[in-house]
Structure formats: C-alpha cells, structure tokens
Amino acid sequence: MKKQMNAPNSDVFAEFLLQRKIRTTLCEDAQPKIYKKKVLITGAGGSIGSEICRQVYALNPAEIILVGHGENSIYLIQNELRNMANKTIQITAEIQEIQDKNGVRRLLEKIKPDFVFHAAAHKHVPLMQNNPHSAVANNIIGTKNVAKAAGEVGVETFVLVSTDKAVEPQNVMGASKRIAEMIVAHLNNKYTTNYTTVRFGNVLASRGSVIPLFLEQIEKGGPLTLTDAEMTRYFMTIEEAASLVVKAGTMTSGGDIFILNMGDAVKIKDIAQRLIRMSEKPNIRIQYTGIREGEKIHEELLEVDELLHMEETEEMFVGKAIMTPEYLIDRLLMNYEKFSNEALTVELLKIANRNEVNIPMEV
C-alpha cells in the first residue's frame, strides 16, 4: 500500500481526494487578537477541538483552557501542549460536563476567558437519530449553558462549531445543531459578547468520519460501504476546519455564520474510488447499502434566506443567522424529556426548519 494511505491528514493526500487546493494560511493574521489572551476550548480532546488547541497555541495566547468530559483525551492534549517549546503559555485542564449549567457557570466565572471556542457536541447522525434526548441535552442545552455563561461573565467572543447538516435539517443531529445556532444568535442580541457560528462540511480523517472507515475497510480487503452512488458532500481538512474557527473568532462582530469556501461538493463514490486506486488493491468493490433515515443526497451550506445576506470572499462565505422565535425553543427545552423519541424528533425538525410557529406543542 502506498505511503499516502498512512497519512490521511497530509495536504497531498487531501488534495488528491478532493481535487482542490488545501487552504493552509487561513488564521495567520489572527495572532494580534489571540496574543496574550485567555482562550477556552470545549471538546478540547476531540479531533477538531485538539487541532483548535494547536492552532491557538501557535498564536501565543496567555492561557489555553482545555475543557472536556473525557479525562483521557484531555490528558493527552494537555501533555502534548505542555511538551511544546513555548513554556510561557499556561495550559489548564478542566473536566466539566457542559450539561451541568451550574458547573459551567462556576468554571467560566473562575477563568473569565477572552475567547470561547465551543467544539463539544454529539455529531454522529445515526446515533443521534436513535437518541434524540441526548442530542437535545448535549448539543442544545449544553451549548446554551456555555454560551449563556460566556455572556454573563463578559467573554469577548464566543464561537459555536456547527455543521452543514444544520441547513434545512432532515435529521436529529442537524436539527439540534440548527437550534443551537439559533440560541447563539439570540444571545448575541442580549450580551456584549460577540457570538458567531462556524459551519463545517465533512472533516477528513476526523473521528467517526467516512475516510477512516474506508481506510479500515480497504485494509480488510473491502467492500467499501456507501449509501448511494449519487451522494455528495462538502469536505475540508481538520487543519482547515480549526483555522476557520480561529479566523471567525477574530473577525466577527457578532451574529455571523462563517463557512469555508470548499469549492464544489464531491461525490463520496469518487473519493472511494480514489482511495481504492491509491491502495493498489484494484479488486476491492463498493457496496451500496441504501440511504439511511435522516440522510440527504446533497448538503447545502446556507439556507435560502441566509443567502440573501451572504458575503463571499476567496476564503469563506459569511452569512447572517435566521431564527425561530426564542419562546418556541425555550418551550421545547422545558418539555423535551416528556416526549417519546418519535415525537421529539418531529418537534426538533419543526423548530429547526422554522415551520413550528403555529403548531402548539403537545406533551
């Protein structure tokens, strides 16, 4: 097997798969804003969160606060950063469950960070489809806890890491992230904190993503499992994703949605075929399994109403959030535990797609 197959994070590997140039300089001008500041990162032990940590570290902040609920992943990124050359940067690790509102408030009151990058989330579509209450508790309530506490303690900038699956969502995970975006946009009108959202496409080589799955299937001799031959997705590297988060945090004046300009969407089938060619195992076949509940054939980056307010640069798109009335979100969060999985899924999709306004919520 060729060497690139063992380097799924390399730009050469990514450019071959995506057939576009990888952007490597997105946050180089963010240094003046981050320099000697306190930066708190939730989900810091995850694949995206840990890369945000590395890129923030390179900008010479005063302190990086690593927040997560898994002590092993936090321990690993803490040790990695502490072993880097710049010993003037303080590295602080905090084990904190974001669903614990009081604990989150105490933590932010103690730290009083300048920037909060909120990467903690449940992100797997099929898992969240079967566990909508967990999606609400973590992705919506957890986000609200961190974001509201950030406003209360006077954080300068709060950045929510979201997903293109939040655009006209058809599944629980996307709906939960869309509602989280709305909460952040509402809070931007209440506090002096600059609240913004960054939407990702699919992130190459992140945990649980399609590329590691395909590589594992190739190692076993196949087949590569794919839901539909026409399915497309927008892709970005972990480094691009993290740098977009940092860039957005230093650019925003609040209420924005940032999306990396990732070029055209890519057929998953084409990526699978390129991986097979690289593997030098030409007999590996692709097996189509059928589209799963809540999946789309094609994802979008912005809703139609958001496109009306969009600005485009060479590097990114910048839109404005479109919101559901806040009282509908609050009512859902007060009652969600009383719903069955099926009923909660329906309510999440109604609110996220802004077609719930005239429909009373029944418990």
Q: Are 302 and 167 spatial neighbours (Cβ–Cβ below 8 Å)?
A: yes
Per the DSSP assignment, residues forming a β-bridge with 258 are 198, 318
Question: What's the CA gap between 241 and 262, in Å, rounded?
Answer: 11
DSSP 165: G
| C-alpha to C-alpha distances, 137 to 17, 151, 205, nearest whole angstrom | 36, 20, 27
210 and 124 Cβ atoms separated by less than 8 Å: no
Give dist(CA 7, CA 14) in Å, integer. Answer: 9
Helix axes 326-335, 172-188, angle to 10 degrees: 130
Catalytic residue among 165, 177, 296, 350: 165
In one-letter notation, the amino acid at residue 308 is: L
**CB neighbourhood size of 125 (10 A):** 19
269 is catalytic: no
**Dihedral over Cα of 134, 136, 140, 144: its sign:** negative
Q: Which residues are tagged catalytic?
A: 165
